Amino acid sequence: MIAMERRVHRPFVVAESKDGSHKFVWLGLDEADAEKGILTNQYLVVDGDEALLIDPGGRFVFQRVYRSVAEFVSPDRVVGVFYSHQDPDVAGSISLVPEFFPNAKIYISALWSRFLPHLGVETGLDIVEIPDGGTEIPLGRHSLAAVPAHFLHSPGNFTLYDPAVKVLFSADIGAAVFPPGEWYLYVEDFEKHASYMEGFHRRYLCCKQAIDAWLSRVKNLKIEIIAPQHGSLFAGENVRRFLSWLESLKGVGLYCR
């Protein structure tokens, strides 16, 4: 196998409030990580001098994630880590959190908290169990909403809405799997991008009913950016394009052939 080219992308502020005190940050990526495991996006929301880390990922990305976070906020000011669900590419590095982000509460579905000791961390986690109906997560002068997305794909699954910058972190909803050698941060050609999303959505998501339940929860939100855990950001027109693509998706989950 030919080694993939290392193309390292630096973290940057995707969206920020007018006064600059609230920021949504994409934490960068190394394209060569695709050789080790599916590419993942990590995000940080900063409000004043506090920050919330979103789906920090597995152990092999943790060093990059930690360094990227430290460019924007002191790691001891990370007051929360949000886990959309329990998968290894989401929570695999959780045993490193107490040492590197010592003041962070762990936000995760109440369904998954008792499974966390199996990831190698038995003490030191300050866990806030998110109830099935969702919750508000305070951050600085604002708060974010954990929006239920159960069975998309995990039985205890949350997306996260940040009203201060109108960003919806959509976890595995909107995930894309790129062919070898291809990657881009923003969706431009939606039709091509849909071909990278379809297989994942039809095989991993549970069923159309779960999709419809989530769509009804997000349809009245003002959304300028949808930021999934894998793949690319949907901005502008592509936000509505993605939501209507998802609504019309056929052969999902139990009905996937």
Binding site for Fe ion (CB under 5 A): 87, 172
Residue 73 identity (one-letter amino acid): V
Decide whether 7 or 203 has the Cβ nearer to Fe ion: 203
Single out the residue of 143, 136, 135, 134 nearest to residue 163, CA to CA: 143
Integer Cα distance of 210 and 157 in angstroms: 11
Decide whether 87 or 162 has the Cβ nearer to Fe ion: 87
Shortest Å, Cβ 124 to Fe ion: 25
**What angle do the packed helices 190-204 and 237-247 form, to 10 degrees?**
40
Decide whether 51 or 91 has the Cβ nearer to Fe ion: 91
Single out the residue of 226, 159, 149, 157 nearest to residue 193, CA to CA: 226
Shortest Å, Cβ 152 to Fe ion: 10
Shortest Å, Cβ 88 to Fe ion: 8
Shortest Å, Cβ 85 to Fe ion: 6
Helices within the chain (DSSP H only): 59-72, 88-91, 97-100, 190-204, 208-218, 237-247
Decide whether 92 or 140 has the Cβ nearer to Fe ion: 92
